[in-house]
Amino acid sequence: MPTNKITIKTQKSMTTDNKHNETAHDHKHEADFPKMSKYEEALSKYQTDIDDNAVREAVRKLIAEKVHENDTPEVKKFLFGSIELTSLKTTDSDESILAFTERVNQFDATYPDLPHVATICVYPCFARTVAESLEIDGVEIACVSGSFPSSQALLEVKIAETALAVKDGATEIDIVMPVGKFLSGDYEGVCDDINELKQACGDAPMKVILETGCLKTASNIKKASILAMYAGADYIKTSTGKLEPAATPEAAYVMCQAIKEYYDETGIQIGFKPAGGLNSVMDALIYYTIVKEVLGEKWLTNKWFRLGTSRLANMLLSELLGEETKFF
State the catalytic residues.
174, 237, 273
3-state helix, strand, coil split of the chain in percent (to 5) is 55, 10, 35
CA distance 81 to 305: 10
CA distance 223 to 114: 38
CA distance 86 to 158: 21
Task: Calculate the dihedral angle through the C-alpha atoms of 203, 120, 304, 75, rounding to the nearest 10 degrees.
Answer: 160
Q: What is the largest CA-CA distance in the chain?
A: 111
What angle (nearest 5°) sits at the alpha carbon of residue 50, between those of residues 45 and 268?
A: 40
C-alpha torsion sign, points 228, 231, 234, 240:
negative
CA distance 15 to 11: 6
**Quick one: how far is CA 64 from the chain centroid?**
27
Q: Which amino acid appears at position 85 of this protein?
A: L
Backbone angles phi, psi at 209, to 5 degrees: -85, 125
DSSP 323: S
Provide the β-strand partners of residue 287: none
Is cis: bond before 245, omega within 30 of 0? yes
Q: Which amino acid appears at position 65 of this protein?
A: E
Residues 6+ apart with CB under 8 A from 58: 253
Is cis: bond before 149, omega within 30 of 0? yes
Q: At what angle do helices 249-266 and 281-294 cross, to 10 degrees?
A: 30
